[in-house]
Amino acid sequence: MTYEQAKSLLESNNQSQVLRFWGTLNATAQQSLLKQIASLDFASIERMKAMLAQKAAETALADPIAPEVVEFTAKTHAEAYTAGEQELRAGKVAVLLVAGGQGSRLGYEGPKGAYSIGPITQKPLFYFHSRKILGLNRRYQTRIPFYIMTSDVNDAATQAHFAEHHYFGLNKDDVIFFQQGVWPALTPEGKIILDQPGHIFMSPDGHGGTISALEKNGCLADMQKRGISTIFYFQVDNPMVEIADPAFIGLHISKKSDFSLKLCAKRDAKEGMGVVAIRGDHFEMIEYTELTDEQANRRTANGDLYFKYGSPAIHLFSFDFLKQEANRNMPLHIAFKKIPVCADDGTVIKPEKNNGYKFEKFIFDVMPDAKTVVNLAFDRADEFSPVKNAEGSDSPATCKHDMQAKWRRWLAANSITLPEGLPLELDPACVLDASDLKKGLLLETR
């Protein structure tokens, strides 16, 4: 893109301020700014501006209804498990990890997946995810492709981390990195913000950017080539997740589901998890911030919360559904944030108050398009203990505690009791679940 093309594009979109420091930039900075301008998605920026202009929406929404949630019995679990194992053995399952976030609550510099979580080995989150896939490959004699979404902020560091750790034993060709999109932030007047004289402030477009990024980076085509029909989706911060749980996969396939979710009972009415609801003729996720007090505290006749289950973002998608959604305009979510800005004299100001809007897409917003949605209940003690905060709840300390408690239960199921307080760690490549212990595979402890 030339300067003249950039100028005319910006003028026609009423964003000429982006070039106001042009004359002060050196040739390299000018080229990099032109590259950023060329990458701007003005159709989305128009949608963002329309959102800013919108008066508080007064649309009357239908009352949300709690969906049916499947609870396995021993028999239905066994049936689903067998069906899921067949899908895994046939090489039809891919694993998709979203790891493009910035982990600001944890306050860790670097990709969150590189954060050390092994109670004994200090191995990182990425180790636990990768080794589970290795364990599945071993068990089902397959090669599950592992797609990892990064962002421009952490892509190089994430790829370097995997290379340094020899892909944690996985085949390099089966670990596929792709970057999510980035978007500019806007002032309340709808103007693109410069955070340096030659640089537009950009931030990741949210985990909802996953599907379009999969398409744009050729990952959907790669899945098609590999014969993938089911995609297991999860977040980087939960090392307890049962990756590609065969029973979940079996249920998803047997119901011919487009989008399946694992849900767990919320700790309390206001826990910060989205809830699945039926509104009118479709399913949707209601974020906890959008549940009214009445809805959050609503009870059933037996005293349970009516919206009892929350979503920890453990999903299955059918390949066809992802393909269908790839070019869809997803809704935008808006957040008022502190964004560094370039003053008129070119100095960079870090504002003390929120000054601009960031926009994100959320993965669950494709749910209303799904013809079949399946919700499966699971016990959070077995599968969910995220590392969100540096301290307190959902922190490294609680996660390490919960991981070890789970492994202890597996040992107990095999009549092995360890002295209280003895640290414990199992390598998921060898021990995917309690049944592997029965087979006498590796047990690491101190």
Give residues in contact with ligand UTP (CB under 6 A). 98-106, 112, 149, 151, 180, 204, 206-207, 235-237, 388
What value, to the nearest 5°, has the Cα angle with vertex 335 and ends 333 and 338?
155
CB of 235 closer than 8 Å to CB of 210: no
The token pair at 179 is 């970057």
| Residue least distant from ligand UTP (Cβ) | 101
The residue (of 22 and 108) whose beta carbon lies closer to ligand UTP is 108
Closest CA to 314 of 248, 246, 215, 367: 248
d(CA 93, CA 126): 19
**Minimum Å distance from CB 286 to ligand UTP?**
16
First vs last Cα of the chain: how many Å apart?
Answer: 60
d(CA 36, CA 199): 8
Amino acid identity of residue 107, one-letter, is G
The residue (of 168 and 233) whose beta carbon lies closer to ligand UTP is 233
The residue (of 106 and 443) whose beta carbon lies closer to ligand UTP is 106
Q: Which residues face 373 on adjacent strands? A: 259
**Minimum Å distance from CB 106 to ligand UTP?**
6
The residue (of 314 and 342) whose beta carbon lies closer to ligand UTP is 314
CB of 255 closer than 8 Å to CB of 374: yes
**Minimum Å distance from CB 347 to ligand UTP?**
27
Whole-Å CA distances, 224 to 84, 144, 227, 228, 327: 19, 13, 5, 6, 17
**Minimum Å distance from CB 386 to ligand UTP?**
8
**Minimum Å distance from CB 32 to ligand UTP?**
22
Closest CA to 240 of 411, 391, 379: 379
The residue (of 145 and 204) whose beta carbon lies closer to ligand UTP is 204
The residue (of 204 and 246) whose beta carbon lies closer to ligand UTP is 204
The residue (of 81 and 168) whose beta carbon lies closer to ligand UTP is 168
**Minimum Å distance from CB 113 to ligand UTP?**
8
The residue (of 237 and 284) whose beta carbon lies closer to ligand UTP is 237
The residue (of 15 and 154) whose beta carbon lies closer to ligand UTP is 154
**Minimum Å distance from CB 237 to ligand UTP?**
6
d(CA 80, CA 73): 10
**Minimum Å distance from CB 151 to ligand UTP?**
6
**Minimum Å distance from CB 163 to ligand UTP?**
20
Cβ-based neighbours of 299, under 8 Å, separated by 6 or more = 305, 306
**Minimum Å distance from CB 298 to ligand UTP?**
26
The residue (of 209 and 246) whose beta carbon lies closer to ligand UTP is 209
d(CA 439, CA 29): 61
CB of 337 closer than 8 Å to CB of 185: yes
**307 CB neighbour count, 10 Å cutoff:** 24
d(CA 363, CA 331): 10
Closest CA to 97 of 168, 202, 185, 201: 168
